[in-house]
């Protein structure tokens, strides 16, 4: 049995249907990435899973149906969500944000976990009394992830963690995600537009197109398929390098152009 199973999931906003019959799984200990253009339904998938919007179909977490459950109850079951745009409590201190992440716990190890995140991200320890809203974008993302992990989730949902961050910070952040998965065994479902980085830490990936899954496969398969990289992932393929591996006797073939990208609001 998979840790998470999605079956025929439909969701949207009012009369607008965004997700159209999604089926996917996340195995225990896996990192699964959801890719796709703006408007494809990536963020909506995580909102539906977190209980933030009305949803039909089925989300089974450890065999238990969670569609229709209150978001707080979903957290208690073992799912934590880091929303797009960080989502810290800006008026609270760094330390208060971390304690807020443990609201569903009732044990004696909360303080030890706070200190462990100060060890993981020393800058948070240095700014423990500082308001979260005064941190840099990268520091706020560190705090948002640490706060989510204070609930000790079995499944961490990450929505566009690279958004608005400098490339060097993003690279370090994704390295930390990979480390968390390897060392703590935390399963992750990651929505991300930076396909190369996301596939670098993933086991498997799904590509959404207009609210439906267009392609699925291992991270390696998606990374190495030129047609997928060009058409769905926005990754330019080095044509000269590609042609150098072709039989010179073969006539050149035309490659389909990438579909237009929707630059509207991310759904």
* CATH class of segment(s) 1-78+153-233: alpha beta
Residue with tokens 């998606």: 222
* CA distance to 60, 79, 151, per residue, from 2 (Å): 9, 14, 21
CA-CA-CA-CA dihedral for 176, 177, 179, 181, to nearest 10:
160
> Could you tell me the CA-to-CA distances from 117 to 31, 94, 144 in Å, in that order?
21, 11, 11
Instruction: State the virtual CA torsion across 216, 219, 222, 225 in degrees, nearest 10.
Output: -140
Residue 238: band (very low, low, confident or very high) from pLDDT cuts 50, 70, 90: low
Give me the helices (H) in 78-216, please. Answer: 94-100, 110-120, 122-126, 137-149, 167-184, 195-201
Residue 191's pLDDT is 94
Q: What is the pLDDT of residue 89?
A: 92
| Contact predicate 33/13, CB 8 Å | no
Between 43 and 255, residue with greater pLDDT = 43
Q: Can you give the residue ranges of every domain in the chain?
A: 1-78+153-233, 84-151
Nearest-CA neighbor of 41 among 250, 263, 213, 225?
Answer: 213
pLDDT in tens, 178-233: 988 998 899 999 998 788 888 999 999 999 999 999 999 999 999 888 877 777 66
Q: What is the pLDDT of residue 120?
A: 87
> Is the model's pLDDT at 176 over the cut of 90?
no
3-class DSSP state for residue 233?
A: coil
Structure confidence at residue 232 (pLDDT): 65
Q: How does the average pLDDT of the chain come out, rounded?
A: 86
- Taking alpha carbons only, the member of 88, 111, 90, 117 closest to residue 99 is 111
Residue 155 bridge partners (DSSP): 79, 187
* Burial class of residue 150 in the structure, from the number of CB atoms within 10 Å of its CB (0-12 exposed, 13-18 middle, 19+ buried): buried
**Which pLDDT score, from 0 to 100, does residue 197 have?**
85
What single-letter DSSP state applies at residue 93?
Answer: B
Higher-pLDDT residue of 163, 125: 125
The per-residue pLDDT for 78 is 95
CA distance 49 to 35: 16
Q: How confident is the model at residue 82 (pLDDT cuts 50, 70, 90)?
A: very high
User: 6 pLDDT exceeds 60?
Assistant: yes
Lowest mean pLDDT among 70-79, 183-192, 232-241: 232-241
135-150 pLDDT tens trace: 998 899 899 999 999 9
Do β-strands 31-35 and 187-191 pair in parallel, antiparallel, or remain unpaired?
parallel
Q: Is this model's pTM higher than 0.75 or not?
A: yes
CA distances from 196 to 43, 223, 236 (A): 19, 7, 11
Give the rounded percent of residues in the chain with a pLDDT score beyond 70: 86
Tens of pLDDT, residue by residue over 96-149, are 999 999 998 889 999 999 999 999 899 999 999 999 999 998 899 899 999 999
């Amino acid at each position: 049995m998979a840790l998470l199973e999605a079956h025929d999931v439909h969701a949207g906003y009012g009369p607008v249907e965004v997700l159209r019959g999604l089926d996917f799984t996340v195995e225990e200990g896996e990192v699964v990435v959801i890719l796709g253009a703006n408007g494809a339904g990536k963020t909506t998938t995580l909102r539906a899973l977190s209980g933030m919007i009305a949803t039909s179909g089925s989300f089974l977490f450890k065999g238990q149906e969670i569609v229709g459950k209150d978001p707080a109850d979903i957290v208690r079951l073992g799912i934590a969500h880091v929303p797009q745009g960080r989502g810290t409590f800006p008026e609270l201190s760094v330390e208060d944000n971390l304690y807020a992440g443990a609201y569903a716990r009732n044990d004696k190890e909360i303080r030890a976990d706070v200190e462990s995140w100060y060890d993981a991200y020393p800058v948070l320890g240095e700014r423990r009394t500082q308001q979260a809203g005064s941190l840099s974008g990268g520091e706020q993302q560190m705090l948002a992830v640490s706060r989510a992990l204070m609930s000790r989730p079995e499944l961490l949902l990450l929505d566009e963690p690279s958004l608005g961050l400098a490339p060097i910070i993003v690279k370090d952040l994704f390295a930390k995600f990979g480390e968390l998965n390897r060392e703590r065994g935390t399963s992750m479902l990651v929505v991300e537009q930076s396909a190369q980085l996301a596939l670098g830490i993933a086991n498997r990936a799904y590509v959404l197109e207009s609210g439906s899954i267009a392609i699925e496969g291992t991270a390696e398969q998606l990374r190495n398929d030129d047609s997928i990289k060009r058409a769905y992932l926005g990754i330019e393929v080095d044509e000269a390098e590609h042609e150098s591996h072709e039989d010179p006797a073969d006539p050149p073939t035309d490659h389909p152009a990438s579909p237009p990208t929707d630059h509207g609001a991310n759904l």
